[in-house]
Amino acid sequence: DTEVTQTPKHLVMGMTNKKSLKCEQHMGHRAMYWYKQKAKKPPELMFVYSYEKLSINESVPSRFSPECPNSSLLNLHLHALQPEDSALYLCASSQWLDSNQPQHFGDGTRLSIL
Amino acid sequence: AQSVTQLGSHVSVSEGALVLLRCNYSSSVPPYLFWYVQYPNQGLQLLLKYTTGATLVKGINGFEAEFKKSETSFHLTKPSAHMSDAAEYFCAVSDGSQGNLIFGKGTKLSVKP
């Protein structure tokens, strides 16, 4: 069982829809991450939050909008996505933003764009 | 800049055989290294990590890895493969103080009965 919970597990949406991905952790971690993973590829970092503030944005298109309402929750708002955005979206957390802290991953949301 | 190279995109072993998954890193500073496993339709699970101290690191599910600075390697081993070990394995190095993970391309492990 994972300690990072992501909902929904699967999402199918059209290019004009607006939807949100949710991530929750109750380990008291203060750093949270969004990754995108295409099939047979490693995860690619999208965003990093530290103490609820955006720390890193890896030049992600504005159709992806992250939000960290509190230390346990991380959202990813989606709008006007493209077919190439279909992927597995992984959330992770670590105790804090430090290079020796392991990241704990959720099981992801599999997103399909029609 | 840090980077990771995993040799072999696909490794196949027989059940009960030794598992050896290779990882070489490049880092301008002392590295922090991680191995993760990903089962189908799941997220990544931490197997083990090297930060400082003992160079032989033991992880979950009988896996271990040895940090060899002279060879810039962090190979993952398991003495006896089990069918349940079939999965994708990622080696990662931490990118400086920001804690970003730089992943290798992954190695898919198949276990034959």
Chain segment B58-99, per-residue pLDDT in tens: 999 999 999 999 999 999 999 999 999 999 999 999 876 666
Residue B8 to residues B39, B105, B106, B107: CA-CA distances in angstroms?
A: 18, 9, 8, 6
Contact between chains at A106 and B43 (C-beta distance less than 8 A):
yes
Distance, CA of B76 to CA of B96 (rounded, Å): 23
Find, among A25, A111, A104, the residue nearest to A64 by Cα. Answer: A111
Question: For residue B94, what pLDDT is reported?
Answer: 87
Question: Average pLDDT of chain A?
Answer: 93
- A-to-B residue pairs, Cβ atoms closer than 8 angstroms: 66
Find, among A58, A49, A35, A63, the residue nearest to A97 by Cα. Answer: A49
Question: Mean of the pLDDT values across residues A17-35?
Answer: 95
φ, ψ dihedrals at A101, nearest 5°: -90, 120
Contact between chains at B36 and A107 (C-beta distance less than 8 A):
no
- Which residues in chain B have their CB less than 8 angstroms from residue A92's CB? 43-44
Distance, CA of B6 to CA of B28 (rounded, Å): 18
Question: Mean of the pLDDT values across residues B33-45?
Answer: 94
User: Which is more confident, B3 or A87?
Assistant: A87
Find, among A100, A102, A99, A84, the residue nearest to A27 by Cα. Answer: A102
Question: Mean of the pLDDT values across residues A81-100?
Answer: 92
| Burial category of B66 from C-beta neighbours within 10 Å (exposed 0-12, middle 13-18, buried 19 and up) | middle
Nearest to B32 among A97, A100, A110 (CB): A100
Nearest to B43 among A42, A45, A108 (CB): A108
pLDDT at B21 over 60: yes
Nearest to B98 among A56, A103, A107 (CB): A56
- Which residues in chain A have their CB less than 8 angstroms from residue B47's CB? none
Find, among B66, B67, B59, the residue nearest to B36 by Cα. Answer: B59
pLDDT at A99 over 80: no
Question: For residue B41, what pLDDT is reported?
Answer: 86
- Backbone dihedral region of A79: left (phi > 0), alpha (psi from -120 to 50 degrees) or beta? beta
Confidence of residue A109 (pLDDT cuts 50, 70, 90): very high
Nearest chain A residue to B103 by CA: give it. Answer: A42
User: Which is more confident, A29 or B97?
Assistant: A29
